[in-house]
Structure 1
Amino acid sequence: MIKRVSPPGKDPDAVPRNPQAAHVLQKKDFVDRVVAASGAKKADARPIIEATLAQLGKALSAGETLAVPPLGRARVNLERDQRGGEIITLRLRRRPSSIQQSAD
């Protein structure tokens, strides 16, 4: 079940995990990491990565729960439409083995 919220506002219960500004991974850097990890050519990997990201975005916009190991299970908790686009808040559940794999 997706909780839809119309009026903009801040969640008073939301507490940031780390008060410092989070590092933003840009798509270019993401593509570079995938190419390095897979050994694929950048020209071959880029359209596949872009199509994958587009499908993930469509699924999340539709409110679908994603079960994508080793990333984990992502469920839409909150969806809000605003002037600049939609805001989707996710709950991401990861298994300890997935967390260890991503740290390596």
Structure 2
Amino acid sequence: MSDPETPDPVVTQENRPAEAPELLRKKELLEGVVTRSGIRKRDAKPVVEALLAELGDALAAGRPMQLPGFGKLRVNRIKDSPASRVVVARIRQDMPPVPGGDAPDEPAPGQGGENSSKDRLANPDEER
């Protein structure tokens, strides 16, 4: 039994797992490229397939990537098994601009920039 002076714990927020978003497949990606670019599907398909192959090769080789619109990716580790390869990576994306807000021309001092330490991805080999 609890002490009369000690309040009983109260749940203030219930943690529920978020529903997983729908899986993005190549067909949907191709349709999005066609919609955004305005080019014909038959022209976009080989480009999308080549892009996916290049990204897959770079990922398999453990190459870091910096791709505007996608983000900055660093491979932390790769583990091969007989049936597959597991790649553990970290992706850092910029926050999307606020609708109706003006984006600053330059980051405020200490708020980022090309050589900012905030832009760096954590390296698992670095000590804290």
Determine the C-alpha separation between the residues in 2 that align with 1:79 and 1:19. Answer: 27
Larger RCO (CA within 8 A; separation ≥ 6): 1
Shift of 1:85: 1.4
- The 2-side partners of 1:100 and 1:28 are apart by 28
Point out 4+ residue stretches in structure 1 off by more than 4 angstroms. Answer: none
Provide the residue aligned with 2:58 in structure 1: 59
* Larger helix proportion of the pair: 1
Unaligned runs of 5+ in 1: 1-17
The residue number in structure 2 matching 1:49 is 48
CA RMSD of aligned residues (A): 1.7
Q: 1:22/1:84 Cα in 2 relative to 1: closer, same or farther (>3 Å)?
A: farther
The answer to which structure has the higher strand fraction is 1
TM-score, normalising length from structure 1? 0.71
Identity of aligned residues (%): 37
TM-score scaled to structure 2, two decimals? 0.59
Q: What's the counterpart of residue 9 of structure 1?
A: none
For residues 10-35 of structure 1, the C-alpha deviation after alignment (integer angstroms, 9 at most, x for no partner) is xxxxxxxx543342111111101111
Looking at CA atoms only, which structure, 1 or 2, has the larger radius of gyration? 2
Matched AA of 1:46: K
Deviation at 1:76, TM superposition (A): 0.5
> Would the alpha carbon gap of residues 22 and 82 (structure 1) be closer, same or farther in structure 2, given more than 3 Å must change?
farther
